[in-house]
Structure 1
C-alpha cells in the first residue's frame, strides 16, 4: 500500500496517501466518485472552524448525515454517541410502558400502587435492555461492519496509518513538515486518536426516531388483553397480544433500518475516518446489513408462519 508522499494536494501542497480521496490537511477533494452526485454522499470541502453543538449533530444525522460525520470527524471526542445511547434507552423504557398499557391485570387496578410498581419495573427493565442493546449490539455491529470495510478498503490499516495504533499517542506534525497554506494547522485530523467507536456509534441515531414511531404504533395498534394476574402473562389469555400483526410491522421497521439506513450512515462514518472510497464501503456495509436483516428479522416466526 502506498503511503504519504505520492499524492500532493494542489491547494495546500501537503502530501497525502496515493489512495486518499480528500486532503487530510485542507479538505480539498483529490478524487471524485460518481456516487457523490447524490447529496447524502457528497463530501464537504468547507473550512472547519469549530464542531457543531451535540443536538445539531443529532439533527444532521437525520437531515445531513454527510455533514454530521464530517463535523464529528474533526472532533471525535465530542461525538454525541453516549447522549444518543441515553436517549434511546429512555425511549425503550417508554416503549415498555406502551406495551404494558394494553395489559389489564384484574388483581391490580390501573391506579393502584401495585400497578405503579409493575409499570416502573417495566420501564426500568426496558431502559436497561435498550441501553445494553445499543452499547453491546452497537459495538458488535461496528466490529462486523469494520471487518467488511477491511475487505473493501483496508479500513483498519488506514486507521493505523492515519492515527497510529489504538491507545498510542500520535506523533504530531511539525510546522516545518507542512505547507503554510494548510487550513488545519498541525494536521488536526492526524493529531487525535481514531476513537472510531465514539464516531461510528452515532450511525445508530435512526433508532431514536424509529423507537418513537414504534411507541406510537404500539399505543394505537396493540390489542388490549385482560389477565387474572402476572402469572398469566404467558398463557392463552395473552394469545391475541402476542399474535398481533403489529409485531410484523415492528420487525419490518427494524429490518429495513439495520438493512439499509444504518449501513448508509456506517459507510459515511467509515469513509470520513479512513479517507476512503464511499462506493466500496457502501457496498460492503449494505451487504452486511441486508444479511443481518434477513437472519434476525425476516426469518422470524412472524414472517415464516
Structure 2
C-alpha cells in the first residue's frame, strides 16, 4: 500500500491523510470542489451529536441526501438500508398485484374454496419474488458501483485504510495525546464500528419507495382487462399483459430508466464519497457512467421502448 503524506487540520490541529477531503477527527472540509457548492453535494461540517430518527433519515434521503448520508456515516449500523429493501419489496408486490388483477379466469375462481383470499396470496407471492429479485439486483449494483469507484478514487484501498484491522490513523494516535482542540464531534475516525457498506449503500435505492407504487398505479389504470372462462395458454396471457407495443409498459420503463440512470447514481455518489472520504466529482463521473449503462441495458433496450 502506497504511503500517503499527512496534513494538519486547521480546525482541530490533528494530522490526517493528505488525500482525505474532510478531517476524520472533527469533520472540517480540507479540500474544496466547485461541484460541492451545489445544494445536493454540499458537505456537512456541523458537529454530529445525535443521529436522525428513522423516518427523518428517509425524508432527508429525498430532500437533502448529503445530510442523510453524513448522518448515516456517523452511525452506519443504524442505516435504514435493509428496511428500504424490505419496503421496496412490499411495494413491488403492488406492481405484481396490479398486473395480475387484470386477469380473470372464471373457472379458476369458481374452483377456489376462499376466492376472497386470492389477492392476498398473489400479493405475498409477488412480494417474495420482489424481495429475492431486488436483493440480487441491489447487491449486483453495489458491487459494480464499488468496482467503478475503485478506478476513480481507489475505493477499496481507502476502505482498507479505514477499516482493515486497526487503521493507520488509529495506530498512529492510539498512544499519542490528541490535540487539545479535538473536542469536535463531526469526525468519524475514533468511532469503533464496521463499514457496513452494503447496508449503507442500499439507502441509494430509496427512490423506489415512491416509484414502485407509482408504477403499480399506472399499471392498475392502464392495462387492459383479460376475461377468460377457462385457463388458456400461459403464453397467450403473457403476451396480452406484456404487449411489446403497450404504451403503459413503455411509461413504466421510462420512469425506471430515469430513476436507475440518474437518481440512484446521485445517491450512490454521496454514499461512496462519505464512506471513503473522497472526491465528489470523480465518484460522480464513475457512478453516472455505471448508472446510465445499467439503465440502458436493463430498461431502455426492452421491447416496449424499441418497438419489436
Q: TM-score, normalised by structure 2?
A: 0.90
Distance 1:98 1:187, change over 3 A: closer
Contact kept, 8 Å, 1:108 with 1:115, in 2: the verdict is no
CA RMSD of superposed structures (Å): 2.3
**C-alpha distance in 2, partners of 1:149/1:102?**
43
Per the TM alignment, residue 108 of structure 1 is displaced from its structure 2 partner at its CA by 4.4
**C-alpha distance in 2, partners of 1:101/1:188?**
52
CA deviation map 1:216-260 (0-9, x unaligned): 11111111111234444431x664432132111111111111111
Residue 228 (structure 1) aligns with: 229
Range with bigger deviation, 201-210 or 294-303: 294-303
Taking the TM superposition and a 5 Å limit, the aligned residue runs for 1:1-305 are: 1-3=2-4, 6-109=6-109, 113-164=113-164, 168=165, 173-174=173-174, 176-182=176-182, 183-184=184-185, 188=189, 190-235=191-236, 239-243=239-243, 244-304=246-306, 305=308
**C-alpha distance in 2, partners of 1:189/1:46?**
17
CA deviation map 1:80-132 (0-9, x unaligned): 0111111111111222221122112222459x755444423321221112211
Contact kept, 8 Å, 1:227 with 1:238, in 2: the verdict is no
Distance 1:28 1:100, change over 3 A: same
Contact kept, 8 Å, 1:95 with 1:211, in 2: the verdict is yes
**C-alpha distance in 2, partners of 1:118/1:230?**
16
Distance 1:187 1:87, change over 3 A: closer
Per the TM alignment, residue 18 of structure 1 is displaced from its structure 2 partner at its CA by 0.7
Contact kept, 8 Å, 2:28 with 2:186, in 1: the verdict is no
CA deviation map 1:251-304 (0-9, x unaligned): 111111111111110110000001000000010000011111111211122222
**C-alpha distance in 2, partners of 1:126/1:178?**
55
Task: Name which structure has the greater RCO, CA cutoff 8 Å, separation 6+.
Answer: 2
Contact kept, 8 Å, 2:40 with 2:66, in 1: the verdict is yes
**C-alpha distance in 1, partners of 2:249/2:206?**
22
**C-alpha distance in 1, partners of 2:136/2:166?**
27
Per the TM alignment, residue 41 of structure 1 is displaced from its structure 2 partner at its CA by 0.3
Distance 1:230 1:278, change over 3 A: farther
Per the TM alignment, residue 160 of structure 1 is displaced from its structure 2 partner at its CA by 0.8
Per the TM alignment, residue 177 of structure 1 is displaced from its structure 2 partner at its CA by 4.2
**C-alpha distance in 2, partners of 1:162/1:229?**
62
- 5+ long unaligned stretches in structure 2: none
Q: Paired residues, what number?
A: 300
**C-alpha distance in 2, partners of 1:119/1:88?**
19
Per the TM alignment, residue 9 of structure 1 is displaced from its structure 2 partner at its CA by 0.5
**C-alpha distance in 2, partners of 1:27/1:280?**
20
Q: TM-score, normalised by structure 1?
A: 0.91
**C-alpha distance in 2, partners of 1:113/1:175?**
72
